[in-house]
Amino acid sequence: MAEKSVSTESLGTAEQRKYKGRKLRVALIGCGGISEVYIRAMQALPQIELVAGVDVKADRLKMMEEKFAVKRLYRDWKRMLKEVKPQGTIVATPNILHAEPTIDSLNAGAHVLVEKPMAMNPAQCRRMIDAARKNRRKLAVGFQYRFHPNTEALLRARDDKRFGNIQFVKCQALRRRGIPNWGVFGQKRLQGGGPMIDIGVHVIEMAHYVMGSPKPVAAAANIWTYLGNKKSDVVCMWPNWDYKTYTVEDLAIGQIRFEDGSIMQIEASFAAHVKEDVWNFTLVGDKGGCQWDPPMVFTDRAGTMVNESPAYVGARSDFAYLFERKLADWVEACLRGTPLRAPGEAGLAIQKILDGVYRSAAAGKEVAIG
């Protein structure tokens, strides 16, 4: 498909068309499946306008034009930045392409929301943060589970000193048989890793957020590949994955030590022989503990051990709602200078944890996290 530079037909609902306030002109770099979730979230936010899309695949650009009426379509993000001059970009490419378009966008004067994980390694994250600071732009990371009502309920409990000093957190992002059969999730060269970096990252980041974001100092871990690189005839939700190009782990287990003495245990799998899929974290402190799903606080009251369940945490927690919330937080920060809930510095801290897990697994021993 030839690149197009005709005038933009604005994406939007009737509510967006009636909106008269300030808008953030945004381009999407990477128009794969997750881009459609972003676009639906944009349609709920009148203060944002999608003005361009970038992808190397012609069929994805065609989808942007036919399904969402986006007219400025490019294969090259550098050309798009020069011609469109967006105020913000959303980087939703494979992990290997998170850093470069983010840095180019920041240097072009655009704010950036980059998908998780922030990059392929901590060095790339630091370069991205440096570019944001140099250009005085906002850099957010796509950690939507910070906006989940369960997470926010536990944050309020933490701020109310319900947990005391946090000692231990256990993170689980386990699939019994859930190897993605689309995209490049099984290719280490393009993704950087498997379930630890793809789904484990979400549980790690929301648990680390509830902990108060302590500094990681050491990691001990191991990873195993035993199913994804083989053909399978087992009935599962996503059959027929590309086992011939599968180079990531099926299961990763790690332990992270933090500067304050607390410990995080991490379990992440695309394919593990467990009873059922798990997406949760539990926390233990010297005054109380908690779990994320369902949200509960475990503590002592009036000489009795009690498990406290909230009567209500919020009406919505679906994926679309979480994307709307994280997108709205970024747009508000870009337009009004408010603090970000998931800034680049948070992305760097999580990248250090992920990097520590993989480095420890490769070395066969505990490694320091700088």
Over range 96-119, report the average pLDDT: 98
Query: What is the pLDDT, as a whole number, of residue 4?
Result: 33
Domains and CATH numbers, the chain: 14-144+326-341 (3.40.50.720), 146-314+347-368 (3.30.360.10)
- DSSP lists the bridge partners of residue 278 as 174
pLDDT one-digit tens code per residue, 151-173: 999 999 999 999 999 999 999 99
The per-residue pLDDT of the chain, averaged, comes to 95
Alpha carbons 179 and 176: distance in angstroms, whole number: 9
Q: Are 151 and 145 in contact (CB under 8 A)?
A: yes
Nearest Cα neighbor of 132 from 142, 124, 120, 144 is 124
pLDDT one-digit tens code per residue, 210-249: 999 999 999 999 999 999 999 999 999 999 999 999 999 9
Nearest Cα neighbor of 75 from 8, 2, 184, 183 is 2
Alpha carbons 186 and 364: distance in angstroms, whole number: 23
Q: What's the half-sphere exposure (Cβ side, CA atoms, 13 Å) at 109?
A: 10
Phi-psi region of 212 (alpha: psi -120 to 50; beta: other; left: phi over 0): left
Query: What is the pLDDT, as a whole number, of residue 362?
Result: 98
Sign, Cα dihedral of 66, 67, 69, 71: negative
Token pair for residue 200?
């484990």
Is the pLDDT confidence value at 42 over 80? Answer: yes
Query: What is the pLDDT, as a whole number, of residue 17?
Result: 61
Query: What is the pLDDT, as a whole number, of residue 52?
Result: 98
Residues in the chain: 370
Compute, in degrees rounded to 10, the torsion defined by CA atoms 72, 78, 83, 85: 90
Task: For residue 275, count CB atoms less than 10 angstroms from its CB and return exposed for 0-12, middle for 13-18, buried for 19 or more.
Answer: exposed
- Enter the pTM of the model: 0.93
Is the pLDDT confidence value at 108 over 90? Answer: yes
Measured from the Cβ of residue 237, the count of other Cβ atoms closer than 10 Å reads 11
Query: What is the pLDDT, as a whole number, of residue 23?
Result: 96
What's 53's DSSP letter?
Answer: E
